[in-house]
Amino acid sequence: MREPSAEETEGQASNGVVGLEEPKKMTREDWRKKKELEEQRKLGNAPAEVDEEGKDINPHIPQYIASVPWYIDPTKRPTLKHQRPQAEKQAQYAPIGDWYRRGVQENFLSTKFRKGACENCGAMTHKKKDCLERPRKVGAKYTGTDIAADEHEQIQLSLDYDGKRDRWNGYDPEEHMRIVEEYSKVDLAKRTLKAQKLQEELASGKLMDQVTSSKKQWDEDEHGSQEREHNSEDEDEDKYADDIDMPGQNFDSKRRITVRNLRIREDTAKYLRNLDPNSAYYDPKTRAMRENPYANTGKIPEEVGYAGDNFVRYTGDTITMAQTQLFAWEAYERGSDVHLQADPTKLELLHQSFKVKKEDFKKEQKESILEKYGGQEHLDAPPRELLLAQTEDYVEYSRHGAVIKGLKKAVACSKYEEDVLINNHTCIWGSYWREGRWGYKCCYSMVKQSYCTGEAGIKTVGSTCTPFEEGLEELENQEEPKTLLELHQEKMKEKKKKKKNKKHKKQDSDSSDEEDEAKKKEKLKKALSAEEQRLKQVAELMQIDERKRPYNSLKEVKEPTEEEMEAFRMKRSRPDDPMASFLGQ
């Protein structure tokens, strides 16, 4: 690399850029010589580079490590100083064990309020707005008593790269010892309980019976010695093998493998239970069929082998779980700190006590009402079903509900006669209804106390025959028939009347039309005069300044009539009309 000349260094010194010389581009020949020298140094044929301390630089170090940035060392001397920790920089960093002090000063405690201290607690290291103590009714500034101790004065720690990223820096190991002591106490309590239980079993003699029975089993088993030599890890796996069962899997403790157990091949698949495409939906991805596939077949869900996944969800303890969750929410709203997943035992005990108290409250309320109003004798009476339906008659029924032995259950009857057939009828009166009238269903007769006509009466219903009572009324009201001469005379009279009416109507219509036209002309004249007055008024208002016009002066309230609309059309100006300029002349 070419060294700068004296003139160049003097120019750089005059410009104030000494020590910030940027690297200059090497020629192709210089670059080739440099690469050859590096290869010779790697092969050991040329001596290695030496830094400012006289130490050799390993030629195999990558260039991005060995090269010095131009802004650090302008002399471009071979060195590795920029990769080593700088002693002057390391001296200003705090040790990795130092951390901010916590708590208050224990040696010094003031007995009176000092100027500039916190007005609430009296400490000198913070102000009232930063005080973390409970706000006193009367601050330490006015009482001068119970002055709080001063906190430690914090120093500014300048941590190095590792100190800033140390997640355990400032952690006190003694805090972990508290957790260790707590667990050790729990372990000790478990051991004492276990020892106490063992002593109770020894005292009662249960343990001896178990030992003798186990000895007999070990003696009878030929391979007992081999089983006793099993590894403790295998025993633990066998111990918890039953608990490893998960949905869709089965753990075999003998072979130490996990076997997929999606569905037993003898079981019918869910989608084959009902082949109707409109039946319950089957999700092939999750193998779930939530609805009942036998819903539209008339089968009872309790009788079928599979009634959908939702049927299983709403059985067993699912409803009890939902009730417990609802109680937890209600209790939390009323101030009780309970949670179903966080503390289920506490919630269950609280729920049980709530149920007992609720039953006691209902019982007390019932007793107080009975004590005040009475009526205990009505509550002690037997059920209504037993009072109204109890009997000592023996009755035996078949599977279809028919009576095999004994008499049928007596049906309570009213005071009126029921199922009484008269006059050869096979149905009672009122069994048939048509057009607002009651009758007999056996013959469709509408006359009460009549004799039954059977199928003949049913056939005559569609004919013009009327009931007997109606027929009598019609015969009484019927007039004698008129002769042909009388009918002809009536027709001639009606024709003459019609001709006279037509003449009068024509005269009336002509006179009425003339009157209507005269009235319309008068109305139109009035409407035209009113329209002229309105146009004059509008012209006067348009000449007045817009700010001085009266309020709602141009607003029409009522709906215009036909005459007013016609007058408006006649009087309105049409600027596009070629004769509009001659209208005013």
CA distance 276 to 537: 84
Taking Cα atoms as reference points, which of 152, 151, 155 lies closest to residue 95?
155
Average pLDDT rounded to a whole number, residues 545-551: 76
Q: Which of 45-54, 178-187, 372-381, 516-525 has the highest mean pLDDT?
A: 178-187
Count of C-beta atoms within a 10 Å radius of residue 24? 9
User: Taking the complete model, does pTM exceed 0.85, yes or no?
Assistant: no
Q: What is the pLDDT of residue 152?
A: 85
Token pair for 376: 């205990």
Give the helix ranges, DSSP H, for 20-78.
Answer: 28-43, 63-66
Q: Please identify, among 68, 84, 100, the residue that sits at the C-terminal boundary of a domain.
A: 84
Q: Up-side HSE of residue 257: CA atoms within 13 Å toward CB?
A: 4
pLDDT(314) > 50: yes
**Is residue 331 situated within a structural domain?**
yes
Q: What is the pLDDT of residue 139?
A: 92
**Is residue 583 situated within a structural domain?**
no
**Is residue 277 situated within a structural domain?**
no
Is the domain of 369 the same as that of 436?
no
Q: What is the DSSP letter of 280?
A: S
Q: Which of the pair, 147 or 249, is modelled with greater confidence?
A: 147
Average of per-residue pLDDT values in the chain: 79
Q: What is the DSSP letter of 243?
A: G
For the stretch 160-198, pLDDT in tens is: 888 888 888 888 888 899 999 999 999 999 999 999 988
Instruction: Kindly indicate the confidence band of residue 552, based on its pLDDT and cuts at 50, 70 and 90.
Output: low
Token pair for 354: 């709530």
pLDDT(50) > 70: yes
Residue type, 285: K
Asked if residues 254 and 234 have their Cβ atoms less than 8 Å apart, the reply is no
Instruction: Kindly indicate the confidence band of residue 12, based on its pLDDT and cuts at 50, 70 and 90.
Output: very low
Q: Please identify, among 84, 115, 137, the residue that sits at the C-terminal boundary of a domain.
A: 84
Count of C-beta atoms within a 10 Å radius of residue 296? 12
Q: Which of the pair, 353 or 101, is modelled with greater confidence?
A: 353
**Is residue 440 situated within a structural domain?**
yes
**Is residue 569 situated within a structural domain?**
yes
The number of distinct structural domains making up the chain is 4
Asked if residues 362 and 369 have their Cβ atoms less than 8 Å apart, the reply is no
Q: Where are the beta strands (DSSP E) in 38-123?
A: none
Percent of the residues in the chain that have a pLDDT greater than 90, as a whole number: 20
**Is residue 159 situated within a structural domain?**
no
Q: What is the pLDDT of residue 67?
A: 85
Is the domain of 15 the same as that of 80?
yes
Contacts of 459 (CB under 8 A, 6+ apart): none
**Is residue 121 situated within a structural domain?**
no
Is the domain of 359 the same as that of 425?
no
Least confident piece of the model among 96-100, 123-127, 347-351, 373-377:
96-100
Taking Cα atoms as reference points, which of 151, 149, 160, 176 lies closest to residue 98?
160
Q: What is the pLDDT of residue 148?
A: 92
Residue 113's alpha-carbon distances to 106, 138, 145, in angstroms, are: 18, 13, 8
The domain of 532 spans 528-544+558-573
pLDDT(584) > 50: yes
**Is residue 291 situated within a structural domain?**
no
Q: Residue 10: helix, strand or coil by DSSP?
A: helix
Token pair for 135: 């706000």
Q: Please identify, among 39, 63, 84, the residue that sits at the C-terminal boundary of a domain.
A: 84
Q: What is the pLDDT of residue 327?
A: 94
Q: What is the DSSP letter of 424?
A: T
Is the domain of 363 the same as that of 425?
no
* ∠ Cα 307 309 312 (to 5°): 80
pLDDT(75) > 60: yes
